């Protein structure tokens, strides 16, 4: 068991969780992060309770990672002084960043477990629930969440205002990110376990407190299990939640919304630039007042020019994050061929649709062309995402054994 005697430095740069080191170097199965700010009066008790709980269910196969944001009450020092009693404890002291959600991710970056987790330090999340969360993961869940809103769940003496704010935040989330927030009953939970593989290799960028919506919004999360728990009253210290956290939550929702639909919006923007190229060349080549070439020939030249325009933009902008590991000329040319093939199929479909609509539905070539282009754009997006820009790099990171 590698012993960490010091308060450890924290990684900087992208919030990117690496896939596990080869299994031989791995230290533990579960890495549980405990984010702290001003928790000197709670930290010894939570470490003791977690150790009792995990020594029972995961003896010698877990680590507790305290991530303290340089608390003025020197929580990190109190935690570090616990090292002699707790061999599974590691303490990280952040001096260059602040914030609950990023603290959790920085803790996961230094974790060596295949299962990652987070629990608050202030004893409001009962450690006894860990056993049920672990059972859910062991039975195949990707994500096991302690929820206040399922059977056996609840909040202690929360004021009506705090209850309304929490529920209001959840409603707003359902409006902006239904496919994320709608998957769970307690998206605000800060107490859960997840398989590392679901977020490994993804650049996370949470804001504020809500690490769970970041995990569900950006991770490859399959089965989710929720376990009811009673949110406890704080024994010492106070909640750090202020109006700022609510604003950061809205910012976080908008950032995730853009990330999840941003790619499609970029693809549509590129498609629009291709529309301009296509339409302009169609006019220049086939209109009676210009070259008056046959419609199909003009469409072929206009269409291929638009395809080249769209590939260059999509490769550099829409799918740029997916080509980071595929930069060779050969890989780029392969992407162009696949893109071209998919778009030529789309062009054939588009010419067929154009002629069908023009001859049987609307006797206006430009409206018919527009309908044809929109219909083909949707299937082009899906096919290109799945085939042209998926990672074809054979050196992709090895699959993590579960
Ligand atoms: N490192 C770090 N940096 N830790 C922080 C920070 C920070 O900026 N802010 C808060 N923490 C730690 C606290 O020390 C505590 O351990 C935990 O994060 C929760 O902070 P609280 O201020 O007590 O939050 P809360 O009790 O109002 O709400 C908590 O529980 C809710 C239900 O699970 C948070 O976890 C919420 O995110 C969660 O929705
Ligand atoms: Mn709390």
Per-residue pLDDT tens over the stretch 308-325: 999 999 999 988 877 776
Residue 287 and residue 193 share a domain: no
- What CA–CA distance (Å, rounded) separates 60 from 195? 19
Domain-embedded: residue 331:
yes
Boundary of a domain, candidates 259, 291, 315: 259
Domain-embedded: residue 333:
yes
Residue 145 and residue 92 share a domain: yes
Domain-embedded: residue 5:
no
Query: Which residue lies with its CA nearest to atom 23 of ligand 1?
Result: 239
Boundary of a domain, candidates 217, 242, 259: 259
Residue 255 and residue 280 share a domain: no
Instruction: Output the pLDDT for position 372.
Output: 85
Domain-embedded: residue 189:
yes
Residue 106 and residue 197 share a domain: yes
Ligand 1 atom with the shortest distance to the CA of 191: 33
Taking the CA of 37 as reference, the closest ligand is: 1
Dist. CA 12 → ligand 1 center (Å): 21
Ligand 1 atom with the shortest distance to the CA of 188: 39
Mutating to test ligand 1, I would choose from 109, 120, 246 the residue with most ligand atoms within 8 A of its C-beta, which is 120
Domain-embedded: residue 128:
yes
Residue 221 and residue 172 share a domain: yes
Residue 66 and residue 33 share a domain: yes
Q: What DSSP string runs through 128-149?
A: GGHHHHHHHHHTT-SEEEEESS
Ligand 1 atom with the shortest distance to the CA of 237: 23
b/e sequence 199-237, b meaning 16+ C-beta within 10 Å? bbebebbbbbbbbbbbbbbbbebeebbbbbbbbeeeeeb
CA dihedral 67, 117, 2, 402 (to 10 degrees): -150
Dist. CA 265 → ligand 2 center (Å): 38
Ligand 1 atom with the shortest distance to the CA of 211: 37
Domain-embedded: residue 36:
yes
Dist. CA 189 → ligand 1 center (Å): 10
Dist. CA 126 → ligand 2 center (Å): 11
Residue 146 and residue 219 share a domain: yes
Dist. CA 373 → ligand 1 center (Å): 49
**Which H or E run includes 332?**
helix 329-360
Instruction: Output the pLDDT for position 400.
Output: 30
Domain-embedded: residue 150:
yes
Boundary of a domain, candidates 259, 281, 297: 259
**Which H or E run includes 217?**
helix 211-218
CA dihedral 372, 373, 376, 378 (to 10 degrees): -120
Instruction: Output the pLDDT for position 390.
Output: 66
Dist. CA 374 → ligand 2 center (Å): 50
Query: Which residue lies with its CA nearest to atom 13 of ligand 1?
Result: 36
Domain-embedded: residue 402:
no
Instruction: Output the pLDDT for position 396.
Output: 33
Query: Could you read off the pLDDT tens digit of each residue along the chain, which spans 402 residues?
Result: 444 457 777 888 899 998 886 665 667 999 999 999 999 999 999 999 999 999 999 999 999 999 999 999 999 999 999 999 999 999 999 998 999 999 999 999 999 999 999 999 999 999 999 999 999 999 999 999 999 999 989 887 777 887 888 888 888 998 888 889 999 999 999 999 999 999 999 999 999 999 999 999 999 899 999 999 999 888 888 888 888 888 999 999 999 988 888 887 888 899 899 989 999 999 999 999 999 999 989 988 998 899 999 999 999 998 887 777 678 888 899 999 999 999 888 878 888 988 999 999 988 988 998 888 888 877 788 788 778 876 433 333 333 333
Tens of pLDDT, residues 13-30? 899 998 886 665 667 999
Residue 210 and residue 177 share a domain: yes
Q: Which residues does a 6 A CB cutoff place in the pocket of ligand 1?
A: 35-37, 39, 67-69, 98-100, 103, 120-122, 124, 188-191, 209, 231, 239-241
The pTM (predicted TM-score) of the whole model is 0.74
Residue 199 and residue 119 share a domain: yes
| 221: CATH | 3.90.550.10
Counting Cβ atoms within 10 Å, is residue 151 exposed (0-12), middle (13-18) or buried (19+)? exposed
Ligand 1 atom with the shortest distance to the CA of 38: 14
Query: How many distinct structural domains can be found in the chain?
Result: 2
Taking the CA of 70 as reference, the closest ligand is: 1
Taking the CA of 125 as reference, the closest ligand is: 1
- What CA–CA distance (Å, rounded) separates 161 from 398? 48
Residue 160 and residue 68 share a domain: yes
Residue 62 and residue 85 share a domain: yes
Ligand 1 atom with the shortest distance to the CA of 120: 16
**Whole domain around residue 360: which residue ranges?**
261-388
Dist. CA 44 → ligand 1 center (Å): 17
Give the N- to C-terminal CA distance of the chain in Å, as an integer: 21
Dist. CA 77 → ligand 2 center (Å): 20
Residue 364 and residue 310 share a domain: yes
C-beta of residue 127 within 8 angstroms of C-beta of residue 46? yes
């Amino acid at each position: 068991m590698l012993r960490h005697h010091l308060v450890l430095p924290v990684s900087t740069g992208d919030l990117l969780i690496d896939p596990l080191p080869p299994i031989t170097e791995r230290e533990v199965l579960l890495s549980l992060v405990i984010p702290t700010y001003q928790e000197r009066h709670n930290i010894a008790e939570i470490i003791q309770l977690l150790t009792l709980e995990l020594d029972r269910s995961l003896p010698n196969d877990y680590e507790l990672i305290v991530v303290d944001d340089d608390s003025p009450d020197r929580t990190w020092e109190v935690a570090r002084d616990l090292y002699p009693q707790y061999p599974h404890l590691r303490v990280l002291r952040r001096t260059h960043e602040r914030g609950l959600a990023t603290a959790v991710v920085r803790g996961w970056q230094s974790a060596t477990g295949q299962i990652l987790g987070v629990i608050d330090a202030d004893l409001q999340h009962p450690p006894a629930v860990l056993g049920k969360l672990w059972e859910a993961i062991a039975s195949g869940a990707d994500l096991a969440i302690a929820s206040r809103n399922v059977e056996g769940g609840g909040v202690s003496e929360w004021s009506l205002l705090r209850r309304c704010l929490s529920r209001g935040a959840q409603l707003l989330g359902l409006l902006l990110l239904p496919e994320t927030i709608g998957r769970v009953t307690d998206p605000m939970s800060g107490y859960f376990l997840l398989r590392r593989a679901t977020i490994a290799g993804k650049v996370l960028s949470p804001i504020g407190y809500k690490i769970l919506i970041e995990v569900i919004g950006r991770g490859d999360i399959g089965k989710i299990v929720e376990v009811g728990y009673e949110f406890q009253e704080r024994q010492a210290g106070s909640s750090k939640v202020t109006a700022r956290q609510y604003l950061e939550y809205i910012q976080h929702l908008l950032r995730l919304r853009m990330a999840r639909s941003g790619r499609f919006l970029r693809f549509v923007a590129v498609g629009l630039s291709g529309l301009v190229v296509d339409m302009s060349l169609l006019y220049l080549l086939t209109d009676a007042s210009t070259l008056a070439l046959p419609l199909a020939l003009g469409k072929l030249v206009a269409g291929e020019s638009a395809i080249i325009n769209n590939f260059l933009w999509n490769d550099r902008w829409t799918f740029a994050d997916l080509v980071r590991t595929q930069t060779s000329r050969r890989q780029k040319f392969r992407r162009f061929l696949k893109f071209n093939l998919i778009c030529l199929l789309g062009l054939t479909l588009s010419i067929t649709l154009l002629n069908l609509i023009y001859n049987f539905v609307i006797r206006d070539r430009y409206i018919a062309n527009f309908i044809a282009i929109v219909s083909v754009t949707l299937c082009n997006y899906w096919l290109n995402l799945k085939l042209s820009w998926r990672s074809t790099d054979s050196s992709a990171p090895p699959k993590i054994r579960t």
